[in-house]
Copies of this chain bind each other. A is one copy, B any other.
Amino acid sequence: METFIQIIEFLGTFAAAISGVRLAAAKEFDWFGGYVVGLATAIGGGTLRDVMIDATPFWMTKSIYIICTGIALIVVLIFKKYLVRLNNTWFIFDTFGLAFFTVAGIQKSLMYGFPFWVAIIMGCITGAAGGIVRDVLINEIPLIFRKEIYALASIAGGLLFLLLSIVGVSDAICAIVCFLIVVLVRVLAVKYRISLPHLKAEDLER
């Protein structure tokens, strides 16, 4: 089980790093720039969480994230041509990452003594903020503000975590159900092209 969790975390981190490197490549960043954007995508959300809950940023305690991003860079460099064909694979890995980081963010925040509503927000930040950092670094409007259900899947999972917790379900089960719900919501949202309504601009000139 421990191993299984680590594989999920690795795949999620890897998918995030790959997405960062690919978008950096689209802007013709150099290798170093690609690496930094990949790393920021992978660890940005968790770092923001840890700085706010006053924990040591998680990536500073295990070197696996640094290494995983390095592998992502190499994979993009070598297998560039084939990456597009694997878009469904990235989507799945990325969704695993969102779900995994949501659960991890909720659990860590609870462990640090924060109330549940803070933990749900932290779960969402852990899962989704890395992509915002990535988009700021490549000077684009954050994708998750305009496209698809992404962060909301995390919130949905968090709310169910809370609900199950209240009715006395064990932590391990809460975590697993939360993980599955995040995956399910995101997959269904993409499959059926469900997205949030968009805000409309007022005529600000008036």
Whether B25 and A151, one on each chain, are in contact in the complex, defined by CB atoms closer than 8 angstroms, is no
B32/A152 in contact, CB under 8 A: yes
Interface status of A36 (Cβ within 8 A of chain B):
yes
Q: Is the CB of A60 within 8 A of B118?
A: yes
**Interface size grouping (class) on chain A:** 35 or more
Once the chains bind, are B24 and A145 in contact (CB under 8 Å)? yes
Interface residues of A in 1-56 (CB under 8 A from B): 21-22, 24-34, 36-37, 47, 51-52, 54, 56
Q: Is A83 an interface residue (CB 8 A)?
A: yes
B199 touches A34 (CB 8 A): yes
A182 CA to B153 CA in the complex, in Å? 42
User: Cβ of B30 and Cβ of A197 under 8 Å apart?
Assistant: yes
Q: A152 — nearest CB in chain B belongs to which residue?
A: B32
Q: Which residues of A contact B (CB under 8 A)?
A: 21-22, 24-34, 36-37, 47, 51-52, 54, 56-57, 60, 63, 66, 76-77, 80-81, 83-84, 114, 117-118, 121, 132, 136-142, 144-147, 151-152, 195-204, 206
Counting from the closest, the 10 A-B pairs by CB-CB distance are A33-B145, A25-B199, A30-B196, A29-B145, A26-B201, A139-B141, A31-B196, A34-B199, A30-B198, A60-B118
Q: Please, could you name 7 A-B residue pairs with CB atoms under 8 Å apart, sorted by A?
A: A25-B200, A32-B196, A47-B52, A60-B114, A60-B118, A83-B202, A84-B206
